[in-house]
Amino acid sequence: AQSVTQLGSHVSVSEGALVLLRCNYSSSVPPYLFWYVQYPNQGLQLLLKYTTGATLVKGINGFEAEFKKSETSFHLTKPSAHMSDAAEYFCAVRGSGYALNFGKGTSLLVTP
């Protein structure tokens, strides 16, 4: 079975600081990995995804993630946090069939 674990339910960073949200996966097959973001009162929006190919994946709003098979990780980063990045972030792996298995989510707080 495929699953993900997000370390840290809440992360706080200063505006302009590096954002690092951690995600580790477990998968018996080559994984398809995703990061979604949920802004207040909105639905889930895809930030980026890894399927095959280049292990460094760039997404929207300056976010990127690196697939590291040896570490079973897919951490999300952004060099400089902006106030508008405050949201809840979800890591997910595609399970059997086409359904997504999500982590518990990480709430990102950006302070001035």
Partner 1 sequence: EAGVTQFPSHSVIEKGQTVTLRCDPISGHDNLYWYRRVMGKEIKFLLHFVKESKQDESGMPNNRFLAERTGGTYSTLKVQPAELEDSGVYFCASSQRQGNTEAFFGQGTRLTVV
Residue 88: which of 19, 9, 15 has the closest Cα?
9
The mark string for 37-66 relative to partner 1 (x by CB under 8 A, - otherwise) is ----xxxxxx--x-x---------------
Residues 25, 74, 89, 90: which binds partner 1 (CB under 8 A)? 90
HSE (side-chain half, CA atoms, 13 Å) at 59: 22
CA distances from 42 to 34, 37, 39, 45, 88 (A): 18, 9, 5, 9, 11
Least distance between partner 1 and beta carbon 63 (Å): 16
Nearest Cα neighbor of 74 from 18, 20, 17, 13 is 20
The answer to whether residue 31 forms part of the interface with partner 1 (CB under 8 A) is no
Q: Looking at 25, 35, 36, 67, which residue binds partner 1 (CB under 8 A)?
A: 36
Residue 95 engages partner 1 in binding (rule: CB under 8 A)? yes
The verdict on 102 binding partner 1 (CB under 8 A) reads yes
By CB under 8 A, tell whether 28 contacts partner 1: no
